[in-house]
Amino acid sequence: MSRARMWSIVALSAALMGGAAACGDAPGGDPTAGCTDETRTAGAPGDAEPLLLFGAGAYAPTIVYADGAVVIPAAALDHLGTDATGYLRLPMMAPGFSGEQPGGFVAGWLSDCELEAVIEAAEPLFDGVDFGTPQITDHASTPFTFEGTEISLYAFDRDDPGGGVSGAQARARQDLADLWTLVEDATELTGEVEIDRVFVHTYVSIDDGEVTDWPLTTPVSEIARLGCLTVDDPGDVEAVLAWLDGPGSDDLQWRLTVVAAAPGVRDCAD
Same domain, 24 and 143: yes
Same domain, 20 and 102: yes
Q: How far apart are CA 211 and CA 249, in angstroms?
A: 8
Q: Quick one: which of 2, 105, 5 has its CA closest to 55?
A: 105
What is the domain range of residue 220? 198-260
Please enumerate in sequence order all residues whose Cβ is within 8 A of that of 138, keeping only pairs 6 or more positions apart, or say none: none
Domain stop point among 155, 171, 192? 192
265 within domain boundaries: no
Query: Does residue 15 register a pLDDT over 60?
Result: no
25 within domain boundaries: yes
Q: What are 174-213's pLDDT values in tens digits?
A: 999 999 999 999 999 999 999 999 999 999 999 999 999 9
Exposed e or buried b per residue across 36-48, where buried means at least 16 C-beta atoms within 10 angstroms of its C-beta: ebeebebebbbeb
Q: How far apart are CA 226 and CA 202, in angstroms?
A: 8
Same domain, 156 and 237: no
* Domain count of the fold of the chain: 2
Q: Quick one: which of 143, 166, 115, 133 has its CA closest to 53?
A: 143
118 within domain boundaries: yes
Q: What are 122-160's pLDDT values in tens digits?
A: 999 999 999 999 998 888 899 999 999 999 999 998 888
Q: Are 246 and 258 in contact (CB under 8 A)?
A: no
269 within domain boundaries: no
Same domain, 162 and 250: no
Domain stop point among 192, 217, 244? 192
pTM: 0.85
Domain stop point among 192, 217, 247? 192
How confident is the model at residue 261, as a pLDDT?
97
266 within domain boundaries: no
32 within domain boundaries: yes
